[in-house]
Amino acid sequence: MDLKKTDSKLWQYVSEDDKFRNELVQSQYFPEIIKQKVDFSWKDIHPFVSKIEISDHTLPNFIVRFISNYVKDKKFDNILDPWSKYGVLLAAIAENNNNVNGLGIEIFNEAVDISMAISKDKPIEWVNGNSLIELGKMDSNFDAIISSPPFGLSRIRKDFKIGKDILEISDSENNIVLLEALAKLSESGEGVFVLPNRFVFDRRNNVSRNLNKFNLFINSIIALPKKSLSPWTSIDLNIYFISRVPTEKIFLSYLDQDKNPIDLIDQIESHRNGKEIQSGFLIDL
């Protein structure tokens, strides 16, 4: 794999010899980048990490921009990212709207350091810890919960309280954390998640099948281009929009990275059929 080219300014910190290696990992470079107080932004993360990191994904910038633009005109006061990784989503959102307070949870110290570096002077708090444990400590609700969880974590069981009843749910840890986070969504809030297509179409995913029991509803699904998270995975991915307001049908469309996303954002918000099928349409699910 030829690693010579990337759009990230961080690439200058990789030695010439290392640029031709295929086993590079971010831990070789980020500590030095942080130590030298390099000035970089969320836009530099994916072009850099996609060349050197093979253990976990980061979102391409066009997806981050789309989600940030979607959130921009919403009246959200506080936003939670329970799987914040390098903090790109919250950093991009804060760049678009300085009035939003963000809270990101990330288990790896180094990723928290990167998150802090790209969000200087932004109203974002970064919590270094296990997502499930940290969410269990929180009493507050959030106007928006936005995240790109890891994929393929082990299945776990967790009890959830619904009124006076207890519902035990068995699912992957990433889906369990997603549900634990959504439990803190305000009545008028919204969740936006980048998840595999199988989130709703695989019957083993008990979280998606039980969302309505928690007064949570999938309102829109936006398909992403094939191999959006290459080189980490080639699985089909969607952006899921979830709220506490049920809709009769689900809006379905596709995010084209080469087109202006404003029309698509308008379609999601209006929740109506497009003028042509490529513009999106309403379906039963």
* Residue that wins the pLDDT comparison between 11 and 161: 161
| Mean of pLDDT values over 2-17 | 59
**pLDDT, tens digit, 9 for 90 and up, residues 143-192:** 999 999 988 889 999 999 988 999 999 999 999 999 999 999 999 999 99
Q: How far apart are the first and last CA of the chain?
A: 41
pLDDT, residue 55, reads 56
Closest CA to 245 of 277, 210, 283, 215: 215
What's the whole-number mean pLDDT along residues 268-281?
78
Residue 35: is its pLDDT beyond 90? no
Instruction: Copy the structure tokens of residue 205.
Output: 């995913």
pLDDT value at residue 27: 54
* pLDDT, mean of residues 10-35: 63
Q: Is the pLDDT score of 85 beyond 80?
A: yes
Lowest mean pLDDT among 5-14, 99-108, 116-125: 5-14
Does the structure show a pLDDT above 70 at 23? no
User: Average pLDDT in the 70-74 region?
Assistant: 90
Q: How confident is the model at residue 123 (pLDDT cuts 50, 70, 90)?
A: very high
Arithmetic mean of pLDDT, 76-94: 95
Supply 267's token pair. Answer: 């379609």
Higher per-residue confidence, 224 vs 57: 224
Residue 26 above 60 pLDDT? no
Tell me what the mean pLDDT of segment 76-100 comes to. Answer: 92
pLDDT tier at 47, thresholds 50, 70, 90: confident
- Quick one: pLDDT at residue 43? 92
- Binned at pLDDT 50, 70 and 90, residue 3 comes out as very low
How much is the pTM? 0.90
Flag the least confident range among 8-22, 29-43, 138-152, 186-200: 8-22
Amino acid at 227: K
Q: How much is the pLDDT for 1?
A: 36
What pLDDT score was predicted for residue 243? Answer: 97
**78 — phi, psi (to 5°)?**
-140, 140
Average pLDDT, the chain: 86
What are residue 149's DSSP bridge partners? none
Buried-exposed string 177-211: b where 16+ CB fall within 10 A, e elsewhere: bbbbbbbbbbeebbbbbbbbebbbeeeebbbbebb
List Cβ neighbours of 91 (8 Å cut-off, separation of 6 or more). Answer: 41, 42, 115, 118, 119, 122, 124
Q: What percent of the chain is modeled with pLDDT above 70?
A: 87
